[in-house]
Amino acid sequence: MAGIGVIGAGYVGLTTAACFARLGHAVVCADVDEAKVEALGRAEVGAHEPGLAELVAEGLRAGRLRFVTGNAAALSDVDFVFLCVPTPTGPDGAADLTAVHAVLREARDAVRPGCVLVIKSTVPAGTTERVAAVVRRPDVQVVSNPEFLREGHAVDDFLRPQRVVVGAEDEEPARRVVALYEGTGAPALVTRSASAELVKYASNCFLAMKLSYVNSLAELCEQVGADIADVTEGMRLDDRIGASFLDPGPGWGGSCFPKDTRALLSTAEEAHVDFPLLRATIGTNGHQAHRVVGLVRDAVGPLDGARLGLLGLTFKAGTDDLRDSPALAVAALLAAEGVRLTGYDPCVSADCGPVRVLGSPEAVARDADGLVVLTEWPEFAELDWPNLAAVMTAPVIVDTRNLLPVDKVTEAGFHLVSLGRPA
């Protein structure tokens, strides 16, 4: 059993702390937010992440997990310190490493000899090697261990990961970090720190590229009379392509893809490497919200003064995260054209910008000139379509996730518009 300190009780830090406690380690998790720390000490987890609250409660009961305000207790008397602090997009598109540098400067004087500092935050290639100079401790090693946690699946992704990637210039501390994951059964890649850091960006940007590609393909399908569902099904049967991230939608968002695509592009530009494919991926995604508004306009008619109900506001199903949500990007464009917006999302209760949030799909449908499905919550596929049609001014649905059962919706009297499908 190792002693682990985790700096940051955000989405990544809290998952890391709770899951390492489940794996049998003694973990202390630090955060600057005193109210959050007090709540976590009572096993009150604010984030909507399946299984995480239960793991926190289990760790607290077993005495393997505790939460503290301030970093001192998570830096001293531990074998490993995991940095799980934000690396937001800076003004130039590059990752802002202010929080990483601040923690490393504090750790320089606080950690004991032999401690391994692990950067789990997403940082540009070369960061780990460069910041080792900030620590200036030959008895302390700095390694990279990027996270690959999907919101809504974070606990499962940590405890049953597809891979563990650790990067360091010295293999010995890297192997020590790999050993912390014993019991997960995951294959481990030990490499140089720059390579490990780039794995995270390369993975996320490739997935973003697939989504932008399939959204452009859906637009082409609409123009030539093809069905995107059949096209992507044919693609999925080719194991060279893979089955995931081939569903069209209103665009990609969340806490990772927008930040990571811009950061990788910034890294490429700094290295004087032209990366037009990544630039096009970002540009295509920026176009997608405008394309959705165009489909809504074609289906509903003049938008100024129209009333629309939005189904789904989070950036994807299974989370309460609204950061860079494509649903809100579409909502902002609709509001700018004079649309009155109401919305429903299973994990959102407060109004979001121009969207007045109501308590049920039926409430947003009442007297609406149309509905727009923006998040792929499974329960939206099971709604009472005849009842919704009966309370709407005009039974029109634009399904940007191709989630709804076409036969049931059209039989209820709806005019249904889906991405990449014939009308």
327: three-class secondary structure by DSSP: helix
Q: How far, in Å, CA of 345 to CA of 361, rounded?
A: 8
| Two tokens, residue 137 | 């401790």
Which strands, in side-by-side order, build the sheet including 355-357?
A: 355-357, 340-344, 307-311, 370-373, 396-399, 415-418
* β-bridge mates for residue 89, sequence order: 95
Bridge pairing between strands 116-119 and 141-144: parallel
Assess contact for 43 and 53: CB atoms under 8 A: yes
Q: Where are the alpha helices (DSSP H) in 273-391?
A: 276-300, 326-336, 361-365, 385-391
Which strands, in side-by-side order, build the sheet including 3-7?
A: 65-69, 26-31, 3-7, 80-83, 116-119, 141-144, 164-167, 188-191
Active-site residue, from 19, 29, 84, 256:
256
Element (H, E) at 100: helix 98-110
Side-chain half-sphere exposure of 423, counting CA atoms within 13 A = 7
CB count in 10 Å sphere of residue 325: 25
What is the total residue count of the chain?
423
**256 catalytic, yes or no?**
yes
List Cβ neighbours of 381 (8 Å cut-off, separation of 6 or more).
Answer: 403, 404, 405
CA distances from 207 to 261, 274, 322, 409 (A): 10, 19, 20, 31
Side-chain half-sphere exposure of 287, counting CA atoms within 13 A = 12
**Nearest C-alpha neighbor of 364 from the set 379, 381, 345, 350:** 345
- Residues serving a catalytic function are 256
